[in-house]
Structure 1
Amino acid sequence: MSDKKDPSVWQGFKAFLMRGNVVDLAVAVVVGAAFTNIVNAVVKGVISPVVGAIGTKNLDHYDSCLSAPCEGDQGIRIMWGSVLGAALQFLITAAVVYFLMVLPMAKFLARQEARRKAREGAEEAVEVTELEVLKEIRDELVAARRNSEYGER
Structure 2
Amino acid sequence: MSKKSYYTAEGLKKLRDELRQLKDIERPRASQAIAEARDKGDLSENAEYDAAKEAQGMLEMKISKLEEVLSGARVIDESQLDTSKILVLSKVKIKNQTNGMEMNYTLVADGEADLKSGKISVNSPIGKGLLGKSVGDVAEIQVPSGIMKFDIVEISR
Per the normalisation by structure 2, the TM-score is 0.28
Relative contact order (alpha carbons < 8 A, sep ≥ 6): 1 or 2 greater? Answer: 2
User: Hey, which of these two has a bigger chunk of helix by percent?
Assistant: 1
Structure with max Cα Rg: 1
More strand by share: 2
Q: TM-score scaled by structure 1? A: 0.29
